[in-house]
Structure 1
């Protein structure tokens, strides 16, 4: 059966000048940049695709990270607006606002626990239908 197995691309309209955006995300978040933005070539892709999110301060993107605690320390040192780290069985989450006003979510997953949680949620959803 053919199925979606990851993210091919996210096309977002970020605030800020292109070169400054690329510099920030390369220097601070360690993302390799190209003329088109960034691609992810390391690790296993985990993704939650939300078709509708409501709220004044809802992130448009969630980046997987390998060390959320350290990254949040770096962001705080840059005097960026940050939230506290929230810990769940399936991973740790935090948010920050980049220098251009974009609200971003960061996630350090617990991959096995996340996959099991999603499997159970999917099964429960199908049973209700």
Structure 2
């Protein structure tokens, strides 16, 4: 199984980037690859319309380490674990998203990587 790490340096304090990213209503603003409309919160889960259909997203609890790992439950019930971090960087913060190929074709893996890269560039443009 192939793994890729996509990162984006954002010239903002890591705590500010993390705070923006953990706000559920901000998700459609920066994560079009996951949320294409308003987010509905159901306890600690988020319900969103995504390019994959209606999905459930469960983020790890807020923490002081910049960890935003989340599990996406796809319409067919498949759960996909997504590691996501905001870490200090000399120029501010670095956001790192880990993408695993799992059962995806090489073409789909490339497409997913491009979508994550675009989402992180959008995040950067919103915060810088």
Q: What TM-score does the superposition give when structure 1 sets the normalisation length?
A: 0.29
Q: Which has the higher strand share?
A: 2
Give the structure, 1 or 2, with the largest relative contact order (CA under 8 Å, sep 6 or more).
Answer: 2
Q: What TM-score does the superposition give when structure 2 sets the normalisation length?
A: 0.29
Which structure is larger by alpha-carbon Rg, 1 or 2? Answer: 1
